[in-house]
Amino acid sequence: MKAVRVHEYGKPASVDDVPDPELQGPLDVLVEVGAAGVCRTDLHILEGQWAQKSGVGLPYVIGHENAGTVLEVGSAVTGIAPGDRVILHPLVTCGLCPACRRGDDVHCANSEFPGIDRDGGMAQFLRTSARSVVTLAEGLEPAAVAALADAGLTAQHAVRKAVPLLPATARAVIVGAGGLGHIGLQCLLAMTPAEVVVVDRSAEVLEKARALGAHRTVLAGDDVVAEVLDLTDGLGAEVVFDFVGEHGTEAQGVAMTRDAGSYYVIGYGGEVRVPTIDLISREVSVVGNLVGSYTDLRDLMALAARGLVTLSTKRYPLTSALEALDDLDGGRLPGTRAILVP
């Protein structure tokens, strides 16, 4: 099969011919990949940011936002059959550790992460687990939802955690409404009654945000913090969702957060530096956000099936994966997710 592989960190990936994956265990599921999302994490992998954390051996296949059609199932799999169209939770989890048993499968003690620490789904076929498979509702196609498997799931997970903090009287700020943030915006509007302010440096992205229902927008510039404070009665927002997490948004995000509010870190690459006296005197919470759980993905698919969360996408053939990665890295996909279609 064709697959996109990393051979050396700091160098471009390549499209290689590799053996097809095969079932290895009774709960395995073999999927023909119908669509694979291109994520900024893939860029960070190529840069080597994940090398030590993942411990993966090179070369290997990247891609962790996958949807497609079931080809074959293991001997113990029930409720899933060849021909089913599915989206895949990015983690393969054990179901037996304490985290899995309490429904926090994202922190499974024995998890594997296809595309991060083993071969992923930027390929024609992918081996996963029955525990990772969510069947798509009628009317949803793999290419339309693949990026929801990680980008969408991460956004939904952050919003779901913040729901108790965002009644109708509250304000939420989204920093960065691009490929990840535009999903978070839709989740916020679908899941909370809060007023939503979107901050971005792109006028085009802000126009898309307004079309999706953002209540207020701010073009990021030197006075962005002052502008957000002005829109929030000088107090800041109850929750700030930072979908960028680098290039200065970290300090801006904390400054936009009101006293006793929460700064949610979703994008990454930078550093959060806050004097401890400020954390104490202002009681601001800094909240990290990983990808969501299997249950979160099911909930997100329900929102997608109702048309409440949709993706702006640009599709590429699998053989154009390097072009898609370059377009993402070069900022040529504002508010849009790149999707590889094998």
Same-domain pairing of 302 and 330 = yes
138 confidence band (pLDDT: 50, 70, 90) = very high
Same-domain pairing of 124 and 259 = no
Answer whether residue 23 shows pLDDT above 90: yes
Please name which of 72, 51, 39 lies closest in space to residue 8, comparing C-alpha atoms. Answer: 51
Listed range (36-40, 97-101, 332-336) with the worst mean pLDDT: 332-336
Q: What is the pLDDT of residue 334?
A: 85
Distances (CA, A) of 318 to 1, 23, 306: 11, 23, 29
Number of structural domains in the chain: 2
Q: Which of 288, 309, 326 is the last residue of a domain?
A: 288
Answer whether residue 335 shows pLDDT above 90: no
Structure tokens at 29: 């599921």
**Active-site position among 7, 44, 247, 319:** 44
Report the DSSP pairing between strands 66-73 and 28-38: antiparallel
Q: Would residue 69 show up in a list of annotated catalytic residues for this protein?
A: no
CATH code of 64's domain? 3.90.180.10
Q: Please report how many Cα atoms fall inside a 13 Å half-sphere around the Cα of residue 89, on the Cβ side.
A: 25
- Section 251-271 average pLDDT: 96
Same-domain pairing of 30 and 132 = yes
CATH code of 174's domain? 3.40.50.720
Q: Which of 243, 264, 288 is the last residue of a domain?
A: 288
Same-domain pairing of 196 and 328 = no
Mean pLDDT across the chain? 96
Same-domain pairing of 142 and 16 = yes
Burial of 273 (0-12, 13-18, 19+ CB in 10 A): exposed
Same-domain pairing of 265 and 306 = no
Same-domain pairing of 163 and 136 = no
Q: What is the pLDDT of residue 53?
A: 85
Percent of the chain with pLDDT over 90: 94
Same-domain pairing of 40 and 162 = no
Same-domain pairing of 234 and 267 = yes
Answer whether residue 134 shows pLDDT above 90: yes
Q: Which of 246, 262, 288 is the last residue of a domain?
A: 288
pTM of the model: 0.92
Domain encompassing residue 220: 155-288
Any idea which residue has 């992923």 for tokens?
A: 120
Same-domain pairing of 22 and 67 = yes
Same-domain pairing of 108 and 186 = no
Same-domain pairing of 260 and 328 = no
Q: Would residue 41 show up in a list of annotated catalytic residues for this protein?
A: yes
